[in-house]
Amino acid sequence: MKNIVVFASGGGSNAEKIMEHFSQNSTANIVAVFCNNSKAGVIEKAADFGVPVVVFNREQLDNGFVLRHLVAFNPYLIVLAGFLLKFPSDIITAYPHKVINIHPALLPKYGGKGMYGLHVHRAVLENKEQESGITIHYVDENYDEGNIIFQKGIAIEECLNPEEVAAKVLTLEHEHYPKVIEELLNN
């Protein structure tokens, strides 16, 4: 059984789908959720699945505190699920090709610093794109520039606002992220 650690910052709907998927699957265990927001909804969702949570602040992310705690969980894979801070290079170096993220657009378009949540979907609409989607990628030292693992598009020409785009893209995230994680674990 392989260990997965999930990093999240907010409500944690993707984290919840991942915990749900692997609670019914013998491929891996979600052994911890790391969260930089002590009021995040993901903390309660992790408790519902019996998954321990490590809460930290930005300074602890950068000063080695998070890496020291992460090592104790012996992760095979680190999954970012709505984690909004830049991931530190010490963790990326310690776990090469073992840190993945999901982005709510078809990279390389609409990626980079500040491109998250409704900011992404607003930019997609303002540029009159006919399609958006998800990109699952490895994490490197730059925002949204790691090698792409998986992409899936969805038509958005009928969407009238960023919230409608977000809803369509979230459906793809929930459907595909747990499955792609499982494929990575099995390869």
Q: Is the dihedral of CA 22, 27, 32, 34 positive or negative?
A: negative
**Domains within the chain, CATH numbers bracketed:** 2-96 (3.40.50.170)
pLDDT one-digit tens code per residue, 10-30:
888 999 999 999 998 888 999
Is 13 flagged in the annotation as binding? yes
Give the pLDDT score at 10: 87
Q: What is the pLDDT of residue 66?
A: 97
Residue 12 is assigned to a ligand binding site: yes
pTM for this predicted structure: 0.95
The string of pLDDT tens digits covering residues 111-157 is 999 999 999 999 999 999 999 999 999 999 999 999 999 999 999 99
14 is in an annotated binding site: yes
Between 24 and 55, residue with greater pLDDT: 55
Q: What is the mean pLDDT of residues 101-120?
A: 95
176 part of the active site: no
Query: Listing from the earlier edge strand, what are the strands of the sheet with 148-155?
Result: 53-55, 28-35, 2-8, 77-80, 99-103, 131-138, 148-155
Catalytic option among 103, 121, 137, 176 = 103
